[in-house]
């Protein structure tokens, strides 16, 4: 069984009661979760802290979830995003997936289903990070080999 104790989760939702309750439930299950109330706050948070998986509402004032997602991919391309909304449509799901979302869920959803999606997103991130690390090591070795030949 995979250990998710080092995973950082950020919940982004303008519905305070929902966001705080979800954060509490994730923490009770042993996850390291933080929460913010808007896309703008999420982007500010990403400038100060690393996030492995973001759970992002789509319909929010000021900056909606799709616009937030597009900006998250610019600021922190390694962060996986799970869209979670009560106002979604098939069109917003497609738009979100094309914008780089890992997955898409409709509210209400069971906490175990959300956790499964979060863990799958984290697994994708960890696997990609490992491939990048190996490619960087290979690149350094290639440069070292070229330097030794001269």
Q: What are 15-29's pLDDT values in tens digits? A: 999 999 999 999 999
Cα four-point dihedral sign 12, 54, 58, 18? negative
Burial, 62: exposed, middle or buried (Cβ in 10 Å; 0-12, 13-18, 19+)?
Answer: exposed
The 10 Å Cβ neighbour count of residue 104 is 20
Whole-structure pTM value:
0.90
Q: How confident is the model at residue 4 (pLDDT cuts 50, 70, 90)?
A: confident
For the cut 80, the answer to whether the pLDDT of residue 12 exceeds it is yes
């Amino acid at each position: 069984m995979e250990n998710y104790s080092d995973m950082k989760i950020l919940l982004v939702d303008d519905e305070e009661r929902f966001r705080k309750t979800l954060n509490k439930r994730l923490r009770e299950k042993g996850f390291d979760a933080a929460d913010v109330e808007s896309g703008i706050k999420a982007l500010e948070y990403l400038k100060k802290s690393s996030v492995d998986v973001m759970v992002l509402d789509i319909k929010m004032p000021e900056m909606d979830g799709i616009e937030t997602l597009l900006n998250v991919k610019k600021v922190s391309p390694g962060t996986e995003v799970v869209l979670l909304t009560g106002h979604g449509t098939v069109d917003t799901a497609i738009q979100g997936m094309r914008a780089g979302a890992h997955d898409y869920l409709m509210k209400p959803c069971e906490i175990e289903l959300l956790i499964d999606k979060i863990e799958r997103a984290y697994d994708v991130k960890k696997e990609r990070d490992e491939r990048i690390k190996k490619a960087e090591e290979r690149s350094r070795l290639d440069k070292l080999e070229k330097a030794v030949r001269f």
